[in-house]
Chain A
């Protein structure tokens, strides 16, 4: 069950009671300026500056789509947000809808996300709530738009982006549900208020979904709202993590990257996480316990990601399963050293060769695994796996 944690880090903006302030009506220019001043960036994974996204469809009577697809298996923030504060998401959509003169305003909700509360909240608005299907890739912008248009929910070639041609062939803006909620608060409370938390370069708060590979390692898994720039250690502690058992922390989700235990004081900002080739992403923070083999775990994740391919693009359809298999073979102690080179080769073969960034993200995750757990890889080549040994000791 996804718990809603108390806010020991002092923030309950998104998941607390909505501020008793009226939602202003804003014109396009005013809204864009406000969002730009606040420095809001997308909370769905890509982290794109929201003001620029709004500007790309201004004056074009666009379609607006809120993205609550929650394709990331380790994430539960869309579900929690839509259960606790659906009104904020609806407000965000309505705000953008009226400011940009939208022709249609939709909220796309994925299979794991409850629709009851948000349908209720949307009753007196022009927001259409759509319950859609799909897995990992279904929340990708063009895949989402394709599904809404009644076609298969798989990504399109990126030559014509959705902000030029999307829902019903009109310019379309796709915004993550959390970004919408943040925007609704910024409109009420102001850009300066938003910037009171976070860092100057990476302002505001964001929702994180904390989980662990072994249940007892994180005492209170769930969704937590934290200011940007919070040290990873603080977030782990707030969730009751046994820091001694942390072998690594996956930040950003299955397309993210690992932070080694020695670097637990890293701040959760785009800039600070960049050196691990990671980013806040969709706010997933997953702790790998010392009793779990990182290569085994990464092998299963890679296999999952291979299975989630839309199966449109040759390099992805062929390359990801091969990469996953190679990683899984590497996960068996006593593996052949040639497998390491093979993983590197396959990573190069899938990178940037597909209609969407699914192969790229998978390659990033695999590369990070090989880098951060390089010592562990060495152990495996010698025939050892200390994670397995540790687990056996505990039995």
Chain B
């Protein structure tokens, strides 16, 4: 399972980075930076619940989990 950011929707609200800091931080302008510079980092099983919460928290539904 991987994290996918729909960059056309993302407006840098930053809720995702607060809920999934292991995989997401924010840049100068508030947009998420994914760990390791990967486009779609893997979600370890232990973080799956937090990842789902982060997906729900995004106010513009820019974050998704993909297989």
Which residues of A line the B interface, CB within 8 A? 154-157, 159, 312-316, 318, 348-349, 351-355
Contacts and interface: CB of A to CB of B under 8 A. Distances in A.
Contacts of B57: none
B13 to A, nearest CB: 11
Given A314-B29, A352-B37, A352-B38, 9 more contacts: A157-B7, A157-B9, A314-B30, A314-B31, A315-B29, A349-B33, A351-B37, A353-B31, A355-B8
Contact of A313 (B7, B27, B30, B66): B7
A4 to B, nearest CB: 40
Contacts of A349: 27-28, 33
A353 B28 contact: no
15 contacts: A159-B4, A159-B6, A159-B64, A312-B7, A314-B7, A314-B11, A315-B27, A315-B31, A316-B7, A318-B28, A318-B31, A349-B28, A352-B38, A353-B7, A353-B33
A313 B64 contact: no
B53 interface: no
Interface residues of B, number: 19
Grouping DSSP codes into helix (H, G, I), strand (E, B) and loop, the A interface class, with mixed when no group exceeds half, is loop
B49 interface: no
Contact of A312 (B4, B8, B12, B66): B8
Given A352-B37, A355-B6, A314 B12 contact: yes
Interface in B24-45: 27-31, 33, 37-39
Contacts of A318: 28-29, 31
Nearest to A359: B7
A154 to B, nearest CB: 8
B15 interface: no
A332 to B, nearest CB: 24
Contacts of B64: 159
B58 interface: no
Contacts of B11: 314
Contacts of B27: 315, 349
B6 A352 contact: no
B19 interface: no
Interface string B11-24: 11000000000000
A356 B38 CA distance: 15
Contacts of A156: 8
Nearest to A356: B7
* Among A156, A159, A351, residue most surrounded by chain B Cβ atoms (within 10 Å): A159
A32 to B, nearest CB: 28
A349 B27 CA distance: 8
Nearest to A314: B31
Contacts of A351: 37
A160 to B, nearest CB: 11
Contacts of B30: 314
* Among A157, A354, A355, residue most surrounded by chain B Cβ atoms (within 10 Å): A157
A352 B34 CA distance: 10
A316 B12 CA distance: 13
Contacts of B37: 348, 351-352
A154 B7 CA distance: 12
A154 B33 CA distance: 23
A222 to B, nearest CB: 38
A-B CB proximity, top 5 nearest:
A313-B7, A314-B31, A157-B6, A312-B8, A355-B7
B29 to A, nearest CB: 5
A57 B12 CA distance: 36
Given A348-B37, A351-B37, A352-B39, A157 B31 contact: no
